[in-house]
Structure 1
């Protein structure tokens, strides 16, 4: 796991100042504390690298890595777990290797197979591959979006980086306005999905895609992998459970390859205990597993995690946190998020990453199970149980019954009146209610017309279930993976996600949703539960994960912070603020009238990001 950045200039001009490159590279130092590298091609190209050494710890793994003839150069962040098989195939084609890790395999695969090599990689990665003869830069990202890569494509050239604060630190950022679309997405979803970003002309590369840019300014794009919106299932019941269990076991074993110590995150749920169980089954000594507890709060899952650890024979490390630690972690959270981000579960993810990094360099996590196997039972179930209500066109339903509520009765949805299942799903993922958004901002930016993530007007249960799974995988999972990457990399920890292995995804796409989700008792992820049941008897039934008492924090330590950051300003990222509405929002939460912690954190996080990252960049100060 590493950090990468680089630049391709379109016009002849002065070489990029070394001090600028050094500063941009230093911003990603935590991604790679073990080594640093820089390569230049004349005055118009440079590639920078920071290394977290995992495979081939020798100098042979140094990057940027060039081919023997010097034509091709690569910077690569991530791991390709099937590199040994690819290496064997390339060796049979006459390729001689100088190193034992996966970086050189990725380099040679791109040389010999071009962009078709990307679909052969089973791993997590973001990469930049430069062809000196063609003067062309190729950027690519893994199939699920586990590793991020941002880029700025302007009149002067292409700049890319692992972190968005590096985009802010580049001279080409000067004068770029805030993107209304990027801001609109953040204010509703709490993150900015690819390919959008918070500033105009900047982007995040989409999962499973590539971008090729030449020094003449020619741009080509391609998609090598897309999760299916609908694939007719052919795995059901016991056959589905057997196939999933086998795929997960193989993926975990595949992702345990490492030349440094590795362990596991352990929650009180299903997914990370399953990963830990498969690790222990493949290991010859107790696997060390890490848990963060919340000191007796209703969200504390440390007892369940400890029970799992005892039953599985894990070497369990548990640490509790208390409400007074919120302020201690606030700076770390803001520093880790180079772009606006409002998933407050990054707090415990940072904590458990720091805990694991004390004696590990790699940790395996259970992320991805909910999205692949219909694990958000309440969210999926509330829609699927009422899907038939959307059989008639909305205009006909409205004419018959007037505009009626089609929410599931949850407090956070009671004002929503959505015309389609897609809109209903969007409402479930909105962190700030529409009326709150309209009250707090004088003129909030509208939902971008070109963003089709929630465009769905069907009703048939099978198609709807498949679309909901696709939507969670494409949308919500992107936010989860950004959180995990930022928290892990802030602690120089590589976090692997074996449930997003290509083989597991391929099997999951074949499974009938009814073999994963029981609408009667509200349980999802049935194949994963069955697989875990082979290792342990008792399981938790509720959806669990590392959580924090954010509602309590906003009635405690974050109450003052919110006032200091937001209540004294007239605008936020150029949007005029209605301060009385902000004050009412905070008061309604503080008095217990409503739990508005999601809205409050979305706004506070944006204000903190603005003050920590955007304002210094706009003023020309170091980020």
Structure 2
């Protein structure tokens, strides 16, 4: 794993060095620079595969590469290229990228099974190509300023290179509602984030962009003759193969193990190929509703791993909270950033890579809100639902409830729902359009589950969950890999019929049937337990400084309704309601704005 930065224009190694220092946390093993007329590229490396120095920036013919990520199918691609007469000088997975690009241009990115943010400069044609991986595990930001293109793995490096500082009010409502911003937009005007599966080409000759999506989520159906037992065996085989490929490394690897079905399965397959696997989980003393330690302990004992428990308390997260503006880099409002940072910090003492369970809920229908939406959809379209529609519409209008059965999925669906549309209007003083991807409209009537899955795989997964994992692990110089989002598993999961995913009160049914083969049933069929923390209680206790600091920060911005946010804070402080998610969302935004001097 690494960090990359770059810009077109006059040779300026000093400026690229400054930008590299701002993302040194992403790789402390080696810094590399390529600087000549028309292009400046930099890379800070966390050595994982082939640890020899001076491999980057890589060059092939008239191409130069800097890259952040891992290519898991590089051995297969390398073999094909060698048969075509191409020779290699290392065992690094990134070395296949340029010869592949030379042959197939942007189509090459679709051939890569991996996580990556790639920058390729064509010195002959004076074109710069940027690409983000298929599922969005690795971020890549860019902007055009004074006829030159600037890019980096982290937003703060782009801000280091350019004077971009204006808040993007157009997506502020989106952030307040969702807790993240859908790519390609960011909260900084005229600074963009590549969408997952997207490639951008910038021509220095014409000073223009071309953008296209080289990959999209595969939508197909399974062969009608596939039995449930066949599907279980097929998925188990895919998981085995995928996890094995994600163990590719010349450094120690561990796993984040919460004791839930996703991380337990990933760890099970890892232990087939690795002995004495280090596993890590968070505990919340005195908060049994949040604490999964007993499940993590049982999973670790069952799999004979070297388990490490990290205690998460207000005092242990206080330094992270105080520095959240700089750590978060671009606002995401997930409080799970705090325990994720603690996990990464502890894991880095023994390993350089961890496997995680991200993506399983989106791909296999694990979220509670999926089956709730499906129940509402079925009721709304039933005979009784149609008869009761006038009455439910009246109740919804009067009490602001029952939206699930009175409006279309595309109108009300919100993965997070931090501030609803009415609350956003009260906070901002004007209505704010919360536009969901068109994919939800396309499938909301015919296949609502698929519509929700694809929407979450477009926004929530890449722009919140993967951003959280990337920023918190990379802050600790640790690489995280998510086996569930391999292209083969994604295609398989999306093709499953609804009843094998979001069944009544039980999501991820097929995954649980696989887990039954390797774990006791009581570990498999327990209720889903999200990765949450008792933030509401902590904000009225040892973290109460957040409320005080927020009260001081809020008057400095002109676009928020003071009456509304004061009531919000006082309501939480007085115990009238738990507004922790709303308060945290505002706190992260304002701390980030203060840290990077973002102008409203």
Q: Does TM, scored on the shorter chain, surpass 0.5?
A: yes
Question: Residues 439 and 454 of structure 2 are in contact (CA less than 8 Å); yes or no, is this contact kept in structure 1?
Answer: no
Q: Residue 523 of structure 2 aligns to a residue in which SS?
A: coil
Residue 248 of structure 2 corresponds to residue 257 of structure 1 = yes
Counterpart for residue 571 of structure 2? 588
2: CA distance between counterparts of 1:331 and 1:236? Answer: 53
Q: Residue 300 of structure 1 aligns to a residue in which SS?
A: coil
TM-score, length basis structure 1 = 0.89
2: CA distance between counterparts of 1:346 and 1:50? Answer: 23
Per-residue CA deviation, residues 224-257 of structure 1 (Å, 9 max, x unaligned), is 21114x5334355222222211111110011101
Give the counterpart of 2:375 among 364, 375, 385. 385
1: CA distance between counterparts of 2:466 and 2:436? Answer: 23
2: CA distance between counterparts of 1:502 and 1:170? Answer: 35
Q: CA deviation at 1:448?
A: 5.4
Per-residue CA deviation, residues 386-416 of structure 1 (Å, 9 max, x unaligned), is 2134449xxx999944734569xxx996788
Q: CA deviation at 1:109?
A: 1.2
Question: Residues 267 and 545 of structure 1 are in contact (CA less than 8 Å); yes or no, is this contact kept in structure 2?
Answer: no
Q: CA deviation at 1:6?
A: 0.6
2: CA distance between counterparts of 1:345 and 1:128? Answer: 30
Counterpart for residue 582 of structure 2? 599
Q: CA deviation at 1:152?
A: 0.3
Counterpart for residue 57 of structure 1? 51
Distance change >3 Å, CA 117–CA 555, structure 1 → 2 = same
Residue 32 of structure 2 corresponds to residue 32 of structure 1 = no
1: CA distance between counterparts of 2:443 and 2:118? Answer: 37
1: CA distance between counterparts of 2:479 and 2:197? Answer: 20
Per-residue CA deviation, residues 253-304 of structure 1 (Å, 9 max, x unaligned), is 1110100000111002110011001111222x22111111111312011111
2: CA distance between counterparts of 1:418 and 1:492? Answer: 48
1: CA distance between counterparts of 2:405 and 2:450? Answer: 23
> Which region of structure 1 is more displaced relative to structure 2, 323-332 or 525-534?
323-332
Counterpart for residue 595 of structure 2? 612
Counterpart for residue 330 of structure 1? 321
Per-residue CA deviation, residues 565-591 of structure 1 (Å, 9 max, x unaligned), is 33454353x51x332322211222223
Give the counterpart of 1:104 among 95, 100, 109. 95
Per-residue CA deviation, residues 517-555 of structure 1 (Å, 9 max, x unaligned), is 321xx1111122122222211315222243211111221
Counterpart for residue 167 of structure 1? 158
Q: CA deviation at 1:328?
A: 2.2
1: CA distance between counterparts of 2:389 and 2:303? Answer: 58
Question: Residues 209 and 221 of structure 1 are in contact (CA less than 8 Å); yes or no, is this contact kept in structure 2?
Answer: yes
> Which region of structure 1 is more displaced relative to structure 2, 31-40 or 194-203?
194-203
Counterpart for residue 466 of structure 1? 450
1: CA distance between counterparts of 2:18 and 2:406? Answer: 47
2: CA distance between counterparts of 1:568 and 1:108? Answer: 51
Question: Residues 362 and 493 of structure 1 are in contact (CA less than 8 Å); yes or no, is this contact kept in structure 2?
Answer: yes
Q: CA deviation at 1:560?
A: 2.6
Counterpart for residue 477 of structure 1? 461
Residue 182 of structure 2 corresponds to residue 188 of structure 1 = no
Per-residue CA deviation, residues 21-74 of structure 1 (Å, 9 max, x unaligned), is 2221111101010000110121x21001000000010025x211112x4x1100
State the superposition RMSD in angstroms.
2.5
1: CA distance between counterparts of 2:400 and 2:271? Answer: 40
Counterpart for residue 309 of structure 1? 300
1: CA distance between counterparts of 2:369 and 2:305? Answer: 32
2: CA distance between counterparts of 1:455 and 1:594? Answer: 34
Residue 263 of structure 2 corresponds to residue 272 of structure 1 = yes
Gaps of 5+ in 2: none
Count residues in correspondence.
Answer: 589
2: CA distance between counterparts of 1:413 and 1:93? Answer: 63
Give the counterpart of 2:334 among 320, 333, 343. 343
Q: Residue 47 of structure 1 aligns to a residue in which SS?
A: strand
Q: CA deviation at 1:417?
A: 8.5
Give the counterpart of 1:455 among 419, 441, 464. 441
Distance change >3 Å, CA 450–CA 256, structure 1 → 2 = closer
Residue 101 of structure 2 corresponds to residue 114 of structure 1 = no
TM-score, length basis structure 2 = 0.93
Counterpart for residue 133 of structure 1? 124
Question: Residues 405 and 417 of structure 1 are in contact (CA less than 8 Å); yes or no, is this contact kept in structure 2?
Answer: no
Q: Residue 267 of structure 2 aligns to a residue in which SS?
A: helix
Question: Residues 76 and 125 of structure 1 are in contact (CA less than 8 Å); yes or no, is this contact kept in structure 2?
Answer: yes
Q: CA deviation at 1:212?
A: 0.6
